[in-house]
């Protein structure tokens, strides 16, 4: 096994359980704002529509086609509009509440703490995320994983998103890491895996759904605990 020294992790969906935390926060807000009555839909219908709109906005944000305020404005506004509620003011207020609620939910991906406890004694651990800086700080602090990491790099800070090479290069520069002794671990083939590969950095594709793909990658795992046997 190649000797790695620096491990760069994605955050959402890789360490921090975005799906579970987001779902819990949205369920609370759905009840608080009586959205079943206002929208005439079940929570699951609301969540599925939001998830589709949110993913669409994040792709546009990642590709530099929209900015952060636009993402935050449109993801809920478009969701509510799908159910004939067109109220941008309410959508922005709802987003602010969501951004205060979701990041303080502390659910982690299964095996996260166990693997971090093992890796911290053998490697320098870092995070590279396309998430917003304020939300990222809350997520790592509330979930208890902040002390494990030497660098937490957000796209907010550099105004550039993965898979752009700059965020990987700047992260290596700040940590003293090199391409040959670094490893990127993430769940997104486009942003994490191909982004790192294009910079000459080895990768671990965390693929819990075991979805099929044809991309050339360095390593693949389906559970975080598999890293125990890989590293």
CATH number at residue 68: 1.10.150.240
Same domain, 214 and 134: yes
pLDDT for 2 beyond 90:
no
| DSSP-derived secondary structure for 75-140 | HHHHHHHHTT---HHHHHHHHHHHHHHGGG---B-TTHHHHHHHHTTTSEEEEEESS-HHHHHHHH
In which band, very low, low, confident or very high, does the pLDDT at 47 lie, cut at 50, 70 and 90?
A: very high
Active-site pick, 12, 17, 187, 202: 12
Residue 212 lies in a domain: yes
Residue 1 lies in a domain: no
pLDDT for 228 beyond 80:
yes
User: What pTM, to 2 d.p., does this model score?
Assistant: 0.93
Residue 27 lies in a domain: yes
pLDDT for 135 beyond 70:
yes
Active site residue 12: yes
Same domain, 118 and 212: yes
Summarised one tens digit per residue, pLDDT across range 5-45 is 999 999 999 999 999 999 999 999 999 999 999 999 999 99
Residue 61 lies in a domain: yes
Q: What b-and-e string marks burial along 169-193, b requiring 16 or more CB atoms within 10 Å of the CB?
A: ebbbeebebeeebbbbbbbbbebbb
Give me the domain span that covers residue 55: 18-104
Active site residue 78: no
Residue 215 lies in a domain: yes
Summarised one tens digit per residue, pLDDT across range 154-171 is 999 999 999 999 999 999
To the nearest 10°, the Cα dihedral for 43, 44, 50, 56?
A: 180
Same domain, 82 and 112: no
End position of a domain, from candidates 104, 123, 155: 104
Residue 217 lies in a domain: yes
Lowest model confidence (mean pLDDT) among 56-70, 105-119, 179-193: 56-70
Q: What is the pLDDT of residue 1?
A: 59
Residues 6+ apart with CB under 8 A from 73: 88, 91, 92, 95
Q: What b-and-e string marks burial along 4-33, b requiring 16 or more CB atoms within 10 Å of the CB?
A: bebbbbbbbbbbbbbeebbbebbeebbeee
Residue 170 lies in a domain: yes
Same domain, 119 and 139: yes
Same domain, 37 and 62: yes
Same domain, 206 and 128: yes
Distance CA 83, CA 158 (A): 36
Residue 166, domain CATH: 3.40.50.1000
Mean pLDDT over the full length of the chain: 95
Residue 166 lies in a domain: yes
Same domain, 29 and 40: yes
Same domain, 52 and 162: no
Same domain, 43 and 78: yes
Active-site pick, 10, 17, 187, 202: 10
End position of a domain, from candidates 104, 131, 148: 104
End position of a domain, from candidates 49, 72, 104: 104
Mean pLDDT of 173-200: 97
Total domains in the chain come to 2
Same domain, 123 and 211: yes
Same domain, 207 and 159: yes
Same domain, 85 and 196: no
Mean pLDDT of 44-54: 95
Q: What is the pLDDT of residue 64?
A: 87
Summarised one tens digit per residue, pLDDT across range 54-109 is 999 999 998 889 998 999 999 999 999 999 999 999 999 999 999 999 999 999 99
């Amino acid at each position: 096994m190649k000797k790695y020294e620096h491990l760069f992790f994605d955050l959402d969906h890789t360490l921090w359980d975005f799906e579970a935390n987001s779902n819990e926060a949205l369920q609370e807000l759905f009840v608080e704002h009586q959205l079943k009555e206002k929208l005439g839909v079940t929570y699951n219908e609301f969540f599925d529509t939001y998830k589709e709109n949110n993913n669409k906005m994040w792709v546009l944000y990642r590709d530099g086609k929209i900015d952060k305020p636009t993402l935050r404005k449109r993801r809920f506004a478009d969701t509510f509009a799908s159910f004939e509620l067109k109220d941008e003011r309410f959508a922005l207020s709802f987003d602010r509440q969501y951004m205060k609620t979701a990041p303080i939910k502390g659910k982690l991906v299964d095996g996260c703490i166990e693997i971090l406890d093992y890796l911290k004694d053998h490697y320098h651990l870092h995070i590279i995320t396309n998430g917003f800086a304020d939300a990222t700080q809350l997520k790592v602090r509330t979930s208890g994983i902040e002390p494990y990491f030497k660098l937490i790099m957000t796209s907010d800070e550099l105004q550039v998103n993965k898979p752009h090479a700059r965020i990987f290069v700047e992260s290596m520069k700040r940590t003293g890491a090199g391409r040959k002794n670094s490893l990127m671990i993430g769940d997104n083939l486009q942003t994490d895996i191909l982004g790192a590969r294009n910079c000459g950095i080895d990768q671990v594709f965390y693929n819990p759904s075991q979805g099929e793909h044809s991309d050339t990658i360095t390593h693949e795992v389906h559970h975080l605990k598999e890293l125990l046997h890989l590293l």
